[in-house]
Amino acid sequence: GAVVSQHPSWVICKSGTSVKIECRSLDFQATTMFWYRQFPKQSLMLMATSNEGSKATYEQGVEKDKFLINHASLTLSTLTVTSAHPEDSSFYICSASLGSGNTIYFGEGSWLTVV
């Protein structure tokens, strides 16, 4: 299957700083990537849909100024958590759609801990 890679796998940052998470499609071009947040033992919560070359579409309740998404190329989307706070600590996952857009592949996820 298609491979989607996230980096870093885990990151610890100080409160008030910003942290960037990368999502790459390694063997295909993805015009659309998705960013999710997942709390323990819960399902995926879609944060935003990222389209290459255009602004991301954020879900209701997600602060676009806090969670900056950039999709500058067909193989890379980045999520930057700005002015991070402990409540932003979570598991962040990206996915990318393949081909006709009816199948998505997930990255390995990134653990963010804000101290």
Partner 1 sequence: GQQLNQSPQSMFIQEGEDVSMNCTSSSIFNTWLWYKQDPGEGPVLLIALYKAGELTSNGRLTAQFGITRKDSFLNISASIPSDVGIYFCAGHKTGNQFYFGTGTSLTVIP
- Binding-site member from 59, 63, 72, 83 for partner 1 (CB under 8 A): 59
Contact predicate 71/56, CB 8 Å: yes
Q: Kindly state the smallest distance separating residue 29's Cβ from partner 1, in Å.
A: 16
Stretch that binds partner 1, among 13-21, 62-70, 77-85, 94-102 (CB under 8 A): 94-102
For residue 44, count CB atoms less than 10 angstroms from its CB and return exposed for 0-12, middle for 13-18, buried for 19 or more.
middle
Q: Phi first, then psi: give them for residue 52, nearest 5 degrees.
A: -60, 125
Instruction: Give min distance, CB of 65 to partner 1, in A.
Output: 21
> Residue 19 interacts with partner 1 (CB under 8 A)?
no
* Residue 44 three-state SS: coil
Closest CA to 34 of 8, 10, 67, 61: 67
Given the rule CB under 8 A, which residues bind partner 1? 1, 4, 6, 32, 34, 41-44, 46, 49, 51, 57, 59, 91, 93, 95, 97, 101-109, 111
